[in-house]
């Protein structure tokens, strides 16, 4: 039986999606705010990278009294180093994803795999209380699609990925930014993994825009079609060659001005 439990929140280097200016990643800021609700000033905020990272100043302004910087080469995987550094922490909070892009959001699962502990994703609220055995347990309210929610009970330790819509309040204070402190963790003598992935940084590609025919009906006609079931029309090309079927598709695109040739 333990009298206390420990909580840590991970802070990544955020970038503005348009200007690229350093800033706090909102997903990690929400996770940090939820951690402060659980542990108060005892929350540990950990960043794997360099102490010169400018986005750490925003985390100080948002309430991180002290940020522990774990020196990690940006070209290497941070999960093994974080797992070794946070092995004795009961609750590890992370954002759902660092920033928008491919491959983002895998760190909570890689960290849980390295620590051999469960991971719960899309957490909205976390409540820590003692169970029947007088030990600590955690109850999490989880986000589900279509407005649904569910509660999950899990023993400690574990990794929690916080949903960006968690009901927390982010307050920026310049005084906290000036009074906060950034400490560099001493070298733990961690052994690098045998296989290092080769990371490549590139600009995220835009999502393809789905072609959709414009509806020229009036508002009344659209409302009627929404409440009254009716045949949608269209052509089903079962017969003919592939060229004939392709011509049917091309005629539809030209009719609705989705192509200009």
229 CA to centre of own chain:
40
What local confidence, expressed as pLDDT, does residue 58 receive? 93
> Is the same domain home to 84 and 40?
yes
Provide φ and ψ at 226, rounded to 5°: -80, -30
How many domains are contained in the chain? Answer: 2
Residue 14: per-residue pLDDT:
86
Going by their DSSP bridges, the two strands 149-155 and 181-184 should be labelled as unpaired
Query: Is the same domain home to 68 and 24?
Result: yes
Same domain membership, residue 235 and residue 132: no
Q: Is residue 202 part of a domain?
A: no
Find out whether 137 and 153 touch, Cβ atoms under 8 Å: yes
At residue 228, φ and ψ (nearest 5 deg) are: -115, 125
For the chain, list residues with pLDDT below 70. 1-3, 99-104, 131-134, 187-205, 213, 215-216, 228-234
Q: Which of 184, 200, 227 is the last residue of a domain?
A: 184
Domain that holds residue 250: 219-255
What is the structure's pLDDT at 162? 93
Identify the pLDDT of residue 116.
92
Examine residue 234 and state whether it is found in any structural domain, yes or no.
Answer: yes
Identify whether residues 232 and 121 lie together within a single domain.
no
Q: How many Å apart are CA 82 and CA 226, to the nearest integer?
A: 53
What is the reported pLDDT for 257?
79
The Cα 184–Cα 54 span in angstroms is 15
Q: pLDDT digit string (tens) for 80-90?
A: 889 999 999 99
What pLDDT score was predicted for residue 5?
85
Does 120 lie in the same domain as 239? no
Q: How far apart, in Å, are the Cα atoms of 164 and each of 23, 25, 118, 247?
A: 16, 10, 20, 46
Task: Quote the pLDDT of residue 230.
Answer: 59
């Amino acid at each position: 039986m333990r009298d206390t439990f420990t909580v840590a929140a991970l802070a990544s280097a955020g970038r503005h999606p348009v200007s690229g200016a350093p800033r706090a990643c909102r997903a990690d800021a929400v996770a940090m705010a939820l951690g402060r609700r659980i542990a108060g000033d005892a929350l540990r905020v950990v960043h794997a990278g360099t102490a010169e990272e400018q986005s750490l100043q925003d985390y100080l302004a948002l309430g991180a009294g002290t940020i522990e910087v774990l020196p990690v080469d940006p070209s290497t995987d941070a999960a093994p180093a974080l797992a070794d550094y946070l092995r004795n922490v009961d609750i590890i909070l992370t954002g759902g994803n660092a920033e928008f892009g491919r491959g983002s959001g895998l760190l909570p699962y890689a960290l849980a795999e390295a620590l051999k502990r469960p991971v719960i994703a899309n957490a909205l609220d976390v409540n820590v209380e003692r169970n029947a055995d007088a030990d600590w347990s955690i109850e999490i309210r989880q986000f589900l699609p279509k407005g649904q929610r569910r509660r999950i009970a899990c023993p400690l330790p574990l990794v929690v990925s916080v949903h960006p819509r968690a009901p927390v309040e982010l307050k920026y204070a310049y005084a906290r930014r000036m009074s906060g402190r950034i400490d560099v963790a001493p070298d733990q003598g961690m052994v690098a993994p045998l296989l290092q992935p080769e990371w490549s940084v590139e600009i995220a590609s835009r999502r393809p825009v789905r072609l959709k025919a414009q509806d020229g009906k009036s508002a009344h006609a659209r409302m009627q079609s929404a409440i009254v079931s009716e045949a949608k029309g269209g052509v089903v090309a079962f017969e003919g060659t592939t060229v004939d079927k392709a011509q049917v598709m091309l005629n539809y695109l030209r009719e609705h001005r989705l192509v200009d040739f």
